[in-house]
Amino acid sequence: MQLKAEQLATHLERGLQPVYLVYGDEPLLVIEAADAIRAAARRQGFDERKVLTAIAGFDWNGLYHAAGSLSLFGGRTLIDLRIPTGKPGREGGAALQEYCARPSPDSLLLVSMIGVDWREEKSAWMSALATAGVVVKLPTPGLGELPAWLAGRLRRQKQSASAEGLRFIAERVEGNLLAAHQEILKLGVLYPDGELSPQQIRDAVLNVARYDLDGLREALLVGDVARLVRTIDGLQQEGEAPLLILWAMAEEVRALAQISAGLARQQPLDALLRDARIWGARQTLIRQALKRLDRARAELALAHAARIDRMIKGLASGDVWDEFRQLGLRLAAA
């Protein structure tokens, strides 16, 4: 079954399928859709969750083990399979097809992927997922669609804005959904329910924090360790949401891991940058980072980001802010 993004919430209210795939080019949208499925699974008795991250060297037998092992709490298990590169490979594709042929009655398989190309969309493994359950493609709204997307986000927090105000936010974030999401959350904190005036929006959007997420990403890529640590410390002191920081860092980590893997296969860098949707000035920053990082370090960073995600969700113990610093140093240090 194929679903549009706007159909997912209604579908989840009616019951769950044994298999889900959510994918798209924008990490924010994929994370939110996966979160909605995880929440529905918890409500319907999937008390245990097993997170699998399919990076290079991943043992696909882990999928069978996760499905076959009994829950410690006697309930059912959500298998949270993340494929950061958007390509499971031959072995992974075969494993997914085999699982879909005989899905576990006591498990729900949730596969999330970022950056899937058109060839993978026509693959046998994706057809198997659609036959066994639900596939949700999450298209990134274009610049012309962004004001309507922003209006929908404001409605969720019982706010609204004029066309002028929505256009101002859209122009300010330049298509960056993570930045747009951050601005909407800021408006919810600063102002009460109801319609926002254009001046209120301008005041909030132009009041950029001294330690912002774009600065964090830039320090990460250029290898400016001192600025990186200062920025993370500043974000912590200003009470920035850890999940937003993880999104910002993970977007760069995924790109670096994807491109590093392609370089290891002797693929041309220009083509890899294009496939990873790296444009403009960001290409220069990514090229700088690739001079310091090899494939192994990039994949370790990806696994580290997944561990931080589990900490934020309360599934693992540790100091999230210290882990942000460690992840940043892993990538920024020469």
pTM of the model: 0.60
Question: What DSSP string describes 209-247?
Answer: -SS-HHHHHHHHHHT-HHHHHHHHHHHHHTT--HHHHHH
Q: CA-to-CA distance for 25 and 23, rounded, in angstroms?
A: 7
Q: What is the reported pLDDT for 210?
A: 42
Residue from 256, 228, 164 nearest 201 by CA: 164
Classify the C-alpha dihedral 67-69-70-73 as positive or negative.
negative
Classify the C-alpha dihedral 267-270-276-282 as positive or negative.
positive
Q: Band of the pLDDT at 208, cuts 50, 70, 90?
A: low
Q: CA-to-CA distance for 205 and 186, rounded, in angstroms?
A: 8
Residue 211 has pLDDT above 70, yes or no: no
Q: CA-to-CA distance for 185 and 204, rounded, in angstroms?
A: 11
* Residue with the two structure tokens 């949730």: 110
Q: What is the pLDDT of residues 186-205, one digit of tens each?
A: 888 888 999 999 888 888 87
Count of C-beta atoms within a 10 Å radius of residue 76: 17
Sheet holding 107-114, edge to edge: 2-4, 134-138, 19-24, 107-114, 77-83, 48-53
Question: What DSSP string describes 140-159?
Answer: PP-TTTHHHHHHHHHHHTTE
Q: What is the pLDDT of residues 228-261, one digit of tens each?
A: 888 888 888 777 888 888 888 888 888 888 898 8
Identify any residues that bridge with 117 across adjacent strands, giving them in sequence order: none
* Percent of the chain predicted with pLDDT > 70: 95
Please list the alpha-helical segments (H only) found in the chain: 8-14, 27-43, 61-68, 89-101, 118-121, 124-132, 146-156, 163-173, 177-190, 198-206, 213-222, 225-237, 242-264, 269-275, 281-292, 295-312, 320-332
Q: Mean pLDDT, the chain, as a whole number? A: 86
DSSP letter assigned to residue 5: G
